[in-house]
Structure 1
Amino acid sequence: MTDNISRAQFLRLAALSATILVLPSAALADENEITRNMIFNDPESPTGGNPNGDLTIVDFFDYNCPYCKGAAKPLEKVVKADGNIRLVYKDWPILHPTSIIGARLALGAKYQGKYLPVHHALMNIDGYGVEQEKMIEATRNAGVDAAQLDADMTAHADDIARLVKRNLNIADAIGLQGTPGFLVGPFKVNQALNEQGFVRVVADARARQKTPQSK
């Protein structure tokens, strides 16, 4: 049985989350050059689906984005049904102060192998401007060890901050205008899709990958 997150832990979380986007520029010096490997194979970015899939989808989202939430279940359904898609999660907290709280909770849970349960729990909260308490409650209900989560968010605060900063830089570099954003193989999709939309763009991406590109 997991422990409840205490009021003291909650306050410490809120204080830490405020630092996520204000690291000294020197700490980000190595993050400024955006590479394909950074986008698709950042070892710190959580992944789902088939790790050896023949197609990669990169998902840029915010836990306060209703459109991201609307696209999340269709995307996961298509990934599961297809069986040959690798999914890369890029937390992109740009819409609301509590978006950073959500990103920290999910990425902190990664260190105990609970990123995906927390991600799904946060995506299942309806609406925009979700209160911190609701995010923490959803995280607790996802089965995390609260004490370990608190310790991991503290110990890995700089790592989480750098990862989010990389995601912000990548989104800017590839020209995303807002959430949600997807890279589906060679295609950029900057809008929410339904199940049929994902199926169609996946098929188009695979067809494009099989077509020799002119130099």
Structure 2
Amino acid sequence: MTSLRSLMAGCSLAAAMAMPAHAFDIGAMSDAERAQFREEIRAYLLDNPEVLMEAIGVLENRQAEAQATADKDLVAAHAEALFEDEASWVGGNPEGDLVLVEFMDYRCGYCKKAYDEVSELVESDGNIRFVVKEFPILGEESVLAARFAVAVKLEAGDAAYEQVHDALMTLRGNVTADALERVGRDAGIDVDAVMARMEDPQVTATLEANHALAQQLSISGTPTFIMGDEILRGYLPLDAMRQVAEQERAEG
């Protein structure tokens, strides 16, 4: 009886889904017919719960595809701010055929976890243009570190920024004025001059622009990567990032 009921319900579901909207009108059923129809569907789903999982999988795939399409549109709409702004530090191959942008926070554990893998990706690939955007969202220490890094770039240039960025990404312990002073001294920069520029309007404008851009791109966490025209939210292991790079290049 159960198998017969399941078969009937399955046929009913298939028929209902295959019919044009005007051909299947549950509102035209009597109360008894509607009750029976619903009971058959319920019984079918209870007997075949894998159908629900299949439906959920289809829904998730459709949502992921819709999100990917929306992300591509967002990246295209904000390409200049993402890839060509003069405030952001650029590493890797400046003429690379693929651009990788990272929104990061110096206090973010997953950013630190991704640091070595991103460095390995950029170095081993040899043809990636790497853009860093300070996006401090984890409190006062995050803001302090970001202001220091941006001030270093303004005061001492790109090479000094790279040294400081690397040091901050591997820093253990709290971000304090003393810690930043040590980082600066190790990089051979004029720490007093950098400290004096941390509240510079240019530093503030850079961080505000990064926050505004993140909001426009629906980015709320770190790390977030943009590779080509794809937004990658959250930490990705090295192999996964290499696969994305390969896919982006294949798609042209």
Q: Is TM (by shorter chain) over 0.5? A: yes
Aligned to 2:172: 126
1:161 aligned to 194, 204, 218, which one?
A: 204
Number of residue pairs the alignment of both structures matches: 173
- The one-letter code of the counterpart of 1:136 is E
**1:64 pairs with 2:107:** yes
Specify the SS of the correspondent of 2:198: helix
Aligned to 1:148: 193
CA-to-partner distance for each residue in 1:30-63, whole Å, 9 max, x for gaps? xxxx732111110111110111110001100001
Aligned to 2:52: none
Distance in structure 2 (CA, Å) of the matches to 1:100 and 1:38: 21
- Contact between 1:122 and 1:139, CA under 8 Å: does it hold in 2? no
Shift of 1:151: 4.2
Distance in structure 2 (CA, Å) of the matches to 1:188 and 1:77: 20
Aligned to 1:79: 122
CA-to-partner distance for each residue in 1:132-156, whole Å, 9 max, x for gaps? 43333233323322133234435xx
Shift of 1:184: 0.5
Aligned to 2:249: 206
Unaligned runs of 5+ in 1: 1-33, 211-215
**1:41 pairs with 2:84:** yes
CA-to-partner distance for each residue in 1:123-181, whole Å, 9 max, x for gaps? 00136x54443333233323322133234435xx1111111111101111111131110
Distance in structure 2 (CA, Å) of the matches to 1:135 and 1:102: 8
Percent identity between matched residues is 35
TM-score by length of 2: 0.64
**1:187 pairs with 2:230:** yes
Point out 4+ residue stretches in structure 1 off by more than 4 angstroms. Answer: none
Taking a change above 3 Å as real, the CA distance of residues 35 and 188 of structure 1, as seen in their structure-2 partners, is closer
Q: Which has the larger radius of gyration?
A: 2
Shift of 1:87: 0.6
CA-to-partner distance for each residue in 1:84-123, whole Å, 9 max, x for gaps? 1001110001111111110111111113121111011000
Higher percent of residues as helix: 2
What is the root-mean-square deviation of aligned Cα atoms in Å? 1.7
Relative contact order (C-alpha < 8 Å, sep 6+): which is higher?
1
Aligned to 2:42: none
Most deviating of 77-86 and 195-204: 195-204
- The one-letter code of the counterpart of 1:143 is G
**1:176 pairs with 2:222:** no
- The one-letter code of the counterpart of 1:102 is A
